[in-house]
A = this chain, B = another copy of it.
């Protein structure tokens, strides 16, 4: 059964998450797929094209996942709770996002990160406006919420052998939710 462009891209995304952007290399990927480098160059002009396709795939997945995880929740406060606790849960799986953050010197990666970040910040700004935060305070609230989201993910990636458990984990996530919850009437 012949390989498709999608087969190469899927495998590249797996490698990106586990070993970083530099590990998205033609020859090792060819070995993983049991093909030759010549096969790769039938589907892609060069490595950069593969990287671009991999970034697009990740972007579509990340966007879709956010929508189905967060946007389906009606109540804005519950959305914030899902966001903070989701940051912790998500970071256990792969770290494509962390890999991308460190490859930020690569122009296509940088462009992707800026797009994603702005989309998330805009989403959060609308959310804080829904929570009756004044218009001039919504952007800073959104920025802090996204910072907390990023930080929770990163901390888990940086030190995966020292994770909180039980009551300590619950308190940590409660504090995280409190830190991004605006003042106002509790539900």
Contacts and interface: CB of A to CB of B under 8 A. Distances in A.
B172 A140 contact: yes
A18 interface: yes
Nearest to A172: B140
- Give the copy number: 2
Interface stretch (A44-52, A55-63, A152-160): A152-160
Contact of A105 (B20, B100, B103): B20
A104 B101 CA distance: 12
Interface centre among A22, A118, A139, A159 (most CB of B within 10 A): A159
Interface of A is mostly: helix
A19 interface: yes
Nearest to A116: B158
A102 B105 contact: no
B164 A139 contact: yes
Interface stretch (A32-40, A75-83, A173-181): A173-181
30 contacts: A20-B102, A95-B104, A98-B102, A98-B104, A101-B154, A101-B157, A104-B158, A113-B158, A114-B158, A114-B162, A117-B159, A117-B162, A118-B162, A137-B171, A139-B172, A140-B171, A143-B164, A143-B172, A144-B172, A144-B176, A144-B179, A146-B151, A147-B148, A147-B154, A148-B151, A150-B158, A151-B152, A151-B154, A154-B154, A179-B180
